[in-house]
Amino acid sequence: MKNILLLASIALLLGSCSDTNKNTDKKPDATSVVQAQTALPEASIFNITDTFTNQHKVPLQLTSLRGKPAVVGMIFSHCGYACPRLTADMKIIHDKLGPKAKEVNFLLVSFDVARDTPARLEAYAKETELTPDWILLHGNEQAVRTLSVLLNVQYEKDADGNFSHSNTISVLDKDGVLAYQKEGLEADHTETIGTIEKMIP
Amino acid sequence: MKFLTTILLFFLCLPALAYPSSSENAGKKMVVVPGGNYYSFLVTNSNKPIPVAAFLMDETAVTNAEFLEFVKANPSWQRSKVNRLFADANYLKQWAGDLDLGKDRQKLGNTPVVNVSWFAAEAYAKWKGKRLPTVAEWELAGAGTPDKLKKNMSLTDYILDWYNRPNAQQLPATKTTYRNEYGLYDMHGLIWEWTFNFNSFISKGDSRATTEDEKKLFCAAGAMSVKDRKNYAAFLRFSYRGSLKGSYCIANLGFRCAKSIK
Amino acid sequence: MKKTILTLLLAGTMATMFTACRTNTDTSSGAMSNIDTTTTGTVNAELTDAPNVPKPLTYTSPKRVMVTLEVIEKVMRIADSTEYTFWTFGGSVPGKFIRVRQGDMVDFTLKNMPDSKLPHNIDLHAVTGPGGGATVTNVAPGYDARFQFRALNPGLYIYHCATGPVGMHIANGMYGLIYVEPQHNPLPKVDHEFYLMQGDFYTKGKFEAKGLQEFDMDKAIDEKADYVLFNGRVNALTGPNSLKVKQGETVRLFVGNGGPNLVSSFHVIGEIFNTVRVEGGDLVNHNVQTTLIPAGGATVIDMKMEVPGHYHIVDHSIFRAFNKGAIAQIKVEGKNDPNVFMNLKKK
């Protein structure tokens, strides 16, 4: 049993670290599927291979989002103040893009590994009146932390199970490379939208 | 308090069980750090402490020799192959090559591995079937009473003394500073250590300021007082963590692993 | 965590208030609308160690000015037989003197050396912007940060490290001066310009106790300084290290007070300040004996050295001068002018 676990963790690890274009090992492993396309750029956040689950309970890896720019926010659904506003900010960006919003992935990733199940995220999407094209992600603690480190988002869980966190909207290009970040709530979105518009045909 | 005592009593019995060395990694001894309540260094009376369950922790920081085994087994983490997103140009720069510790390999082998990124430390821990300790776990472990310190210094003085000195020219080996009551070596005085949630401290780089949205977020929370103004040692650690990014590789920053007790 | 934020917030709010005040008051010389900000060309700033001051600037239109400061933690002598671990901007205390011109765009890089134990940042009081630059310059050992700011307001400003715990970083010597020359009415020419900075130090051992002395947090909190120094060392500017000028010459002192705690009663024994640019700003006072320099503040003093001899620069909170090191010297050489001063005692 222990050996199986070990093997599994090595496989996982190889998955997470045989990152793409620099990988000279030809061993077939989890990443070869990913690499069927052209290799991701080194700076792509899609290089992380953790599996998330969306609000429809469908597992997905970030790399499956490749091909469209992404607007990413990190939130928790029980948040009383900041997260609904961050979500509203992202909705403004979504609305201002008009029909072009179809060419962009809008992602909300939850800090709250314990409470924000896919079902809860689906409810949150309903509460905040998000259109069906939004992707709300649940992940394990490690996956969410890893994403936060890559996006320079700070968060900490307090004793009540709520989170202190920074508020950042990140824009990734279609290959998952971080292109632009805006800190703070109710900020001016002109530059954010400008950055996105340049990425879509 | 009764709860705490129960936990303590429970884990005092634990070393008799099958622990110390954890499974895969026979070479690295892990010790039990009793659970407890973690108070952030800047808390008020009304702020609740974070409860921390007892956990296992490597008795020393991961050494260069140990990390070499990791990169041998995981070529994508070798210096020339690593993705720069996960480890910047300083990664393992104390080594002579991908799998070569250089002419001081004997000496270097026993010193803590530094110039490793958070992602690399995470990957190592995962490879070992372990994980990085959380800030709360690390701080609780680091608060353990030393067996003996030079000049009979208090732990706080010892820590501040170390923080106050520039890096040593040559990093000393592990187990050269002190051992604490849990059997952990060098929690202070040798290197800084990565924690799982090092990015939990919401700092914008300026320790005096915070952003407008945070003000909006927290202004209703009432009056505050600093728990212990003189706890500058913890403050320095938070500042240090606040200056980090996951890909950073720094000459005085290494790590040790932790593991939950199932 | 919430409380951390709150604590930080309180300080943050205060910082914001200070910034707000600063911008609101500049109606006369500093207002953005009155200054030329059309920037052409790039220059590297001349940076000097105390007591030297960069030469007055010769360009007359705004430039992009490149400034790089290195944060170096190093053991140096604080007294003849006493060592101390200083944290420095550029390898000495005080840090490098920076001289720019109002309207310049300062392109600022802060490098934290790889050997540093700690992260550091910089708050330049000459900056109009969050944290005076501190919010964007917190750098881990081996890393650097870069930002730009428009030098809107003329005057003499302190810079210092603002990484937590701020008091400790300042107490270890992390401060220096930046002078922003005004676009109009620059300072009159003088024969000598010198750079002095006062700072208080807190050590485990008493004043001049031998060996490497550690920073003492308790004394710092109690504001019980063991050392009050000009330019970071006992006798940094006395005896052979005195500032030397000739009789009849004019001297300008750019003086800052890094603190962290003490306010300086700045005085030169045997001289009267002809001109004091109060608090480093536009207000000019004449014929001043002692001028206050707050911690985190600065002043510009002009005086003419009419009579030869040794002149002692002191903090006139006088035990600091004679018991804690707050003393420096100007040696004026030349022929005496009996028309001004003469000893009448018979031999």
**Partners of C108 in the beta sheet?**
C67, C147
How much is the pLDDT for B201? 67
How much is the pLDDT for A20? 41
Q: Is residue B53 part of a domain?
A: yes
**Digit-coded pLDDT (tens) for B204-249:** 444 444 443 343 333 222 223 344 545 778 888 888 998 999 999 9
Residue C227, classed as helix, strand or coil, is strand
How much is the pLDDT for A201? 80
Give the gap in angstroms from C-alpha A37 to the nearest C-alpha of chain B: 18
Give the gap in angstroms from C-alpha C160 to the nearest C-alpha of chain B: 12
Specify the DSSP element, H or E, that contains C321: helix C319-323
Q: Is residue B185 part of a domain?
A: yes
Specify the DSSP element, H or E, that contains A61: strand A59-61
Give the gap in angstroms from C-alpha B250 to the nearest C-alpha of chain A: 17
Chain A residues in contact with B200 by the CB 8 A cut-off are 154-156, 164
- Domain limits, chain A: 2-37, 45-199
Q: Which of B127, B212, B216 sits opposite A13 (nearest CB)?
A: B127
Q: Could B86 and A12 be called an inter-chain contact, meaning their C-beta atoms sit closer than 8 Å?
A: no
Specify the DSSP element, H or E, that contains A86: helix A82-97
Distance between CA atoms of residues A125 and A55, nearest Å:
8
Residue B87: give the domain boundaries.
Answer: 30-260
Q: Is residue B120 part of a domain?
A: yes
Name the packing angle between helices A82-97 and A190-199 (round to 10°): 50
Cβ–Cβ < 8 Å for C8, A154? no
Round to the nearest angstrom and report the end-to-end CA distance of chain A.
52
Measured between alpha carbons, how far is residue A119 from residues A55, A56, C7, C18, C346 in Å?
6, 7, 37, 48, 103
Which of these, B67, B79, B178, lies nearest to B123 by C-alpha position?
Answer: B67
How much is the pLDDT for A37? 64
Reported residue count of chain A is 201
Which of these, C210, C110, C223, C120, lies nearest to C166 by C-alpha position?
Answer: C120
Round to the nearest angstrom and report the end-to-end CA distance of chain B.
23
Q: Could C7 and B205 be called an inter-chain contact, meaning their C-beta atoms sit closer than 8 Å?
A: no
pLDDT band at B202 (very low <50, low <70, confident <90, very high): low
Q: Is residue B3 part of a domain?
A: no
Residue B126, classed as helix, strand or coil, is helix
Strand-by-strand arrangement of the C47-48 sheet: C47-48, C97-101, C175-181, C155-160, C123-124
How much is the pLDDT for B236? 84
Specify the DSSP element, H or E, that contains C283: none
Distance between CA atoms of residues B189 and B245, nearest Å:
22
3-state helix, strand, coil in chain A (%, to 5): 40, 20, 40
Mean pLDDT of chain A: 85
Contacts of C158 (CB under 8 A, 6+ apart): C124, C125, C175, C176, C177, C178, C256, C257, C258, C296, C297, C298
How much is the pLDDT for C12? 38
Distance between CA atoms of residues B184 and B190, nearest Å:
13
Residue C249, classed as helix, strand or coil, is coil
* Total count of domains within chain B: 1
Q: Are strands A134-138 and A105-110 parallel, antiparallel or unpaired?
A: parallel
Q: Which of B48, B74, B135 sits opposite A17 (nearest CB)?
A: B74
Q: Is B206 an 8 Å CB contact of chain A?
A: no
Reported residue count of chain C is 347
Measured between alpha carbons, how far is residue C327 from residues A136, B172, B195, C46 in Å?
66, 41, 47, 28
In the block, residue with structure tokens 């600063």: C22
Mean pLDDT of A173-192: 91
> What letter would DSSP give residue A45?
G
Which of these, B23, B147, A155, B253, lies nearest to C119 by C-alpha position?
Answer: B253
Specify the DSSP element, H or E, that contains C247: none
Distance between CA atoms of residues B202 and A168, nearest Å:
12
The CATH number linked to B201 is 3.90.1580
Which of these, C46, C259, C62, lies nearest to C152 by C-alpha position?
Answer: C62
Cβ–Cβ < 8 Å for C21, C13? no
Residue range A45-199, CATH number: 3.40.30.10
pLDDT band at B26 (very low <50, low <70, confident <90, very high): low
Residue C220 is which amino acid? A
Mean pLDDT of A73-101: 94
Q: Is B138 an 8 Å CB contact of chain A?
A: no
How much is the pLDDT for B234? 82
Mean pLDDT of chain C: 90
Q: Which of A6, A23, A85 sits opposite B24 (nearest CB)?
A: A6
Q: Is residue B20 part of a domain?
A: no
Distance between CA atoms of residues B125 and A81, nearest Å:
36
Strands (E), B133-219: 192-193
> What is the distance, to the nearest Å, from the Cα of residue C263 to the centroid of all Cα atoms in its chain?
13
Distance between CA atoms of residues C217 and B154, nearest Å:
14
Q: Is B196 an 8 Å CB contact of chain A?
A: yes
Mean pLDDT of B99-120: 94
φ, ψ for residue C23, nearest 5 deg: -70, -30
Contacts of A15 (CB under 8 A, 6+ apart): A29, A30, A31, A49
How much is the pLDDT for B50? 84
Chain A residues in contact with B124 by the CB 8 A cut-off are none
Q: Could C2 and A158 be called an inter-chain contact, meaning their C-beta atoms sit closer than 8 Å?
A: yes
Q: Is B23 an 8 Å CB contact of chain A?
A: yes
How much is the pLDDT for B44? 39
- pLDDT tens sequence for chain C (347 residues): 444 444 443 443 333 333 333 433 344 444 455 789 999 999 999 999 999 999 999 999 999 999 999 999 999 999 999 999 999 999 999 999 999 999 999 999 999 999 999 999 999 999 999 889 998 899 999 999 999 999 999 999 999 999 888 899 999 999 999 999 999 989 999 999 999 999 999 999 999 999 999 999 889 999 999 999 999 999 999 999 999 999 999 999 999 999 999 999 999 999 999 999 999 999 999 999 999 999 999 999 999 999 999 999 999 999 999 999 999 999 999 999 899 999 998 76
Pick the residue from chain A with its C-alpha nearest to B211.
Answer: A184
Give which of A2, A19, A35 to mutate to test B binding, by max B Cβ within 10 Å: A19
**Digit-coded pLDDT (tens) for B131-179:** 999 999 999 999 999 998 877 888 888 888 888 877 888 899 999 999 9
Residue A124 is which amino acid? Y
How much is the pLDDT for A173? 96
ipTM summary value: 0.81
**C-alpha triplet C267, C271, C274: angle, nearest 5°:** 95
Mean pLDDT of A20-37: 45
Whether the ω angle into residue C62 lies within 30 degrees of 0, i.e. cis, is: no
The number of helix segments (H) and strand segments (E) in chain C equals: 4, 22
Which of these, B216, B210, B197, B213, lies nearest to B258 by C-alpha position?
Answer: B197
Chains A, B: CB contacts within 8 A come to 113
Q: Could C2 and B205 be called an inter-chain contact, meaning their C-beta atoms sit closer than 8 Å?
A: no
Of the candidate ranges A4-8, A72-76, A107-111, B240-244, the one whose mean pLDDT is the lowest: A4-8
**C-alpha triplet B61, B64, B66: angle, nearest 5°:** 75
Which of these, C193, C199, C209, lies nearest to C232 by C-alpha position?
Answer: C199
Cβ–Cβ < 8 Å for A120, A167? no
Chain B residues in contact with C165 by the CB 8 A cut-off are 207, 232, 235-236, 239
Q: Is residue B156 part of a domain?
A: yes
Contacts of C324 (CB under 8 A, 6+ apart): C207, C225, C226, C227, C228, C229
Q: Is residue B64 part of a domain?
A: yes
A 10 A CB-CB count for C201 gives 29
How much is the pLDDT for B157? 84
Measured between alpha carbons, how far is residue B94 from residues A39, B79, B83, B100 in Å?
30, 11, 18, 10
Distance between CA atoms of residues B150 and B154, nearest Å:
9
DSSP letters spanning C7-73: HHHHHHHHHHHHHHHHHHH--SS--GGGS------EEEPPEE-TT--PPPP---S--EEEEEEEEEE
Q: Measured on CA atoms in the order A94, A99, A104, A105, is the torsion positive or negative?
A: positive
How much is the pLDDT for B204? 46
pLDDT band at B124 (very low <50, low <70, confident <90, very high): very high
Q: Is B170 an 8 Å CB contact of chain A?
A: no
Chain A residues in contact with B77 by the CB 8 A cut-off are 17
